[in-house]
Structure 1
Amino acid sequence: MMTQTNPPATGQAAPSGDDENFTEATRIPLWDPEQDDVLVCRQVRQETHDVKTFVFSAREPRAFRFYPGQYMTFELPVEGMVTRSYTISGSAARPYRIEITVKRVPGGPGSNWLHDYMMPGKEVNVSGPFGEFTTDATGEEKLLFISAGSGITPMMSMTRTACDLSEPSDLCFVHAARTPADIIFRDELSLLAAQNPGLRIAFTCSTAAAHHSWTGYTGRFNIQMLSLMLPDFKDRKVFCCGPAPFMEGVRNMLRDTGFDMEKYYEESFDFGAETAGTFDEDPVAAPEISGQTFRVSFTKTGHVVECGPGMTVLSAAREAGILPMSSCQRGICGTCKSKLISGEVDMQHGGGIRQREIDQGKVLICCSTPLSDIEVEL
C-alpha cells in the first residue's frame, strides 16, 4: 500500500527520456518503461538475518532514470505468477543498476521466493519505475526522515542520492527497529553521517536486552525521544514510511504537538496483501453512466456480480467476495493487472500498464469501469 497524505513533495512529474532516448554523457540508451521489461540479477547481499538486497541491471546496458523513493513492480513465478512492488533502495545518482531490499515475510510468497531462488544471472520481468513519494534532500529545506523496519528503503534511496550528488543540507534520519541486529543499513548510514556533516542519524530499538553494547534509544518511539533527537522537529518537513500502526502512531504523535500536518508525507508498502489498502485521496474517478448496471463475470472463480454506475471492476470483485492482488487503486503500481476476456471498460490508469499490454487485452481492474457486460480472468 502506498499512502501519500499530500501532493508529491517535489511537485514534479516522473522523469522521462529525451527525444533520442540517450544520455548525453555516455550515449548509453535509457531504460524505456514502455519497451524494456527484463532485469538480470547481478548480486545478492545479506543485510540482516531476514533482509537481502538484490542488485539488477538490464540485459544490455541501459541507464535508469528514477526519483529516489520510487518503486518497480516485479512479476514473480509464484503460484503461477504474482506481482509485487518493491522500493528502489539504491541511489538515483547511480543510473546503471536497480537495487531492491526485501525482508522475508513469514508466509509471504513474493519475499520468500526472492530470498530462496533469486541469484546472479536469473532474470525477472518488471515494470516501472512508479511513485510520487520523493524529495530533494540536497536543497536548503530542513528535513526529517522517520522509518521503521523495511520502510527504510525509500528513505535510504533519498539519502544515498543526496550524499552522491552533494552533502545533504540539513537532514535528520530516524529509524526504528526491533533490535540492534534488525537495523538495516546500520553501518552504511553511520558512515554516511560521518562523511556528511549535514546528515544526522538516530536509531531506536524496541528491545536491546541481548545486545549489551547497545547505547542507543530503547523502547517504543515516542515524542520524548524525538524531542531529544531533534528539538527543532516542528520546523522540518517530515517523510515517514513503515508499518501502518507505526505510521499511525507517528501521525498522532505529531498532531498532538501541534505540528503542521501539511508538511507531513507518508508511504507504506504492503503490496500483495490479501486485503489491499487505499490512498487517502479518492481513487481515479471513472465517468459515471447514469442508470446503467453491467454484469461482471470472473472466469476462474465462476462468480458473477452486478456492477453499478461508476463502480470499478476491483470493487465488483470485492462485492463477490474475491480478494485480488491490488494496492494503489490509482492505476499506478500495476499489481491488479488482469486479462479482459470480453466486453469493454473505461480504464483511467496512472501509468501502471504498458500500451502493448493494453493491446493484449490486459487492464488494471482498480481503475477500470465497465462499459458493457464483461468477463475478467480472475
Structure 2
Amino acid sequence: MNDLTPITGQSIWKDSEPLECVAVIPEVPNTASFAFRAPSGAIFDYLPGQFITLELPTPQGVVHRTYTISSSPSRPRSISVTVKAQEGSIGTRWMLDHLKPGMQIRAFGPAGLFSHMNHPAKKYLFISAGSGITPSMAMTTFMWDIGTEPDIVFINCAKRPSEIIFRERLEHMASRVPGIVLKWVVEEADRYRPWTGYQGQVNQLMLGLMAPDYLDREVFCCGPEPFMTAVREALQGMGYDMERYHQESFKAPVETVEDIPEHDDVVPEAAETAEVTFGVSGVSRTCRETDTVLAVARAAGLGIPSGCTFGLCGTCKIRKTAGEVHMVHNGGISDDDIAEGYILACCSHPIGAVEVEV
C-alpha cells in the first residue's frame, strides 16, 4: 500500500493516526455498526474482508479486540466495523455502551488474508452465521460497487429473522441485480411473524437446495467454530474440493499464510479399512471407511429399516455400543440421541472397529 493514492494524491491512513468515531448505527439487538474517519482526512486502503484491531479503554483496563471491517474499500473516506455483544463481552460491550461520535481511539491494521481478491473466481458462495456476516457484506458491497454483475450465493444463519444483520441493505442490492442470491436460515421464527424461509441448522440438504452449483463456487465461511466445522463436514461429504474453501475465525483471524490452521477434521478414506460388528446378530464385516453402516448391514444380509438414506428422516437410527463413526446428517437425529450413543446408519461411516446393536 502506498502513502498516496495514485489518482487524487490524498494520503492513506496509517495506524499511527487515531480513528475518530463519526457514527453509531444500531443494527439488531446488541449489535451496532461504528463508522470512523481519519482526523487528517486520509482515506482507507484495504482489501474487502480484512480486519482491524481496536484499542479499547474499558473499566477492566485497555483491551485489544479484532473486528472484520464491514465497510468496503470502494467507499474509502470512512471505515466501519459491526460488532455484536456476546455473553461476557468486555470490549464490544464497552463500545455499545460508551463509544460515541467525536471520540478517538487507537487502531492497528488493516490485516488479514480472508478476501475474495486473494482467490479470484467466477462464482462465490458466502456462508456465515451471526456477526460472521461482516466479511461477506464487505466483499459483496465491493463487487456491487465496482459495477460488474457479481455471481454470489449469500447464505446467512441467525437465531431469528429480526436478528439478521444487514438484511435490508443486502435485499436492496439483490433486488437490483440478479447475481446476488440471498438465502436466510433461522433457528426459530419471530413471535407473531410467519417465516417461510429455511429453518433449522445448515446441512447438506439445505446447501444443495440453496446452491445447486456449489461445486463450481469458491466458498468463504465465517462464524462460530462449531458452525464452521458443520459447514466443512457438509461440503466434504458432498464431494467439494476443500482447496477452494476459506474460513475466518471469530477468535483467531489469519494474518499470514503461515498462520492458516490445518483443520483436523475426520474424513473417511476409501483406502482405509474398517470393521463393523453387529452385536445382536453376531456378524462382523470388513469394509472401507467410505462405506456407510447401512450399506455394510445390507451387504451382510441384515435389515435395518431406512427411508430417505441421507440423514433426514431418522428411520435408520440405531445404537452404537463401541468405536467411532463419522456422521454428517441432515437433521434426522437429535443431539440428545447422539449423546446417548445413537447414530443414523445411512450417513455414518465407520472409523476403525465399530459395534452396533443390530
Query: Residue 280 of structure 1 corresponds to which residue in structure 2?
Result: 261
Unpaired runs of 5+ residues, structure 1, are 1-15, 273-277, 283-378
Q: State the 1:169 CA deviation.
A: 2.9
User: For residues 140 and 265 of structure 1, what CA distance do their matches in structure 2 show?
Assistant: 13
Distance in 1, matches of 2:61 and 2:234, equals 43
Match of 1:53? 33
Which residue number in structure 2 is paired with residue 25 of structure 1? 7
Q: Deviations over 1:216-250 (max 9, x none)?
A: 11111111111111111111111100000000000
C-alpha spacing 1:95/1:75, structure 2 compared with 1 (3 Å): same
Note the C-alpha offset of 1:140.
5.4
Q: 2:205 aligns with which of 203, 213, 224?
A: 224
State the AA in 2 paired with 1:50: N
Q: Tell me how far 1:212 sits from its aligned partner.
A: 2.7
1:188 aligns with 2:198: no
Task: Give runs of aligned pairs for residues 287-302 of structure 1, distance below 5 A.
Answer: none
1:118 shift after superposition: 0.5
Q: Percent identity?
A: 41
SS state at 2:33 partner: strand
Q: What's the CA shift string for 1:345-376, capped at 9, x where partnerless?
A: xxxxxxxxxxxxxxxxxxxxxxxxxxxxxxxx
Mapped to 1, the partners of 2:148 and 2:97 lie a distance apart of 37
- Alignment counterpart, residue 142 of structure 1, candidates 123, 134, 147: 123
SS of the equivalent of 1:172 reads: strand
Question: Which of 153, 156, 171 does residue 137 from structure 2 map onto?
Answer: 156
- Aligned-residue Cα RMSD (Å) equals 2.0
CA distance in 2, matches of 1:201, 1:137: 23
- State yes or no: 1:64 paired with 2:29: no
Asked whether the 8 Å contact 1:70–1:134 carries over to 2, the reply is yes
* Conserved 8 A contact 2:129-2:224: yes
Match of 2:55 among 75, 79, 89: 75
The CA deviation string for residues 231-284 of structure 1, in whole angstroms up to 9 with x for no partner, is 111111111000000000000011111111111011112269xxxxx85159xx
Structure ID, larger Rg: 2
The one-letter code of the counterpart of 2:246 is Y
TM-score (norm 1): 0.65
Match of 2:87 among 91, 96, 106: 106
What are the residue-to-residue correspondences of 1:257-268 with 2, within 5 Å?
A: 257-268=238-249
- Answer 1 or 2: higher relative contact order, Cα 8 Å, separation at least 6: 1
Contact 1:72 1:129 in 2 (8 A): yes
The answer to which structure has the higher strand fraction is: 2
Give 3-state SS (helix, strand or coil) of 2:178's partner: coil
Helix, strand or coil for the counterpart of 1:234? helix
Question: Mean Cα displacement is larger for which, 209-218 or 95-104?
Answer: 209-218
- Whole-angstrom distance in 2 between the partners of 1:139 and 1:279: 18
2:260 matches 1:255: no
Q: 2:178 aligns with which of 197, 214, 229?
A: 197
CA distance in 2, matches of 1:195, 1:211: 30
Q: Name the CA shift for 1:190/1:117 in 2 (closer, same or farther; >3 Å).
A: same
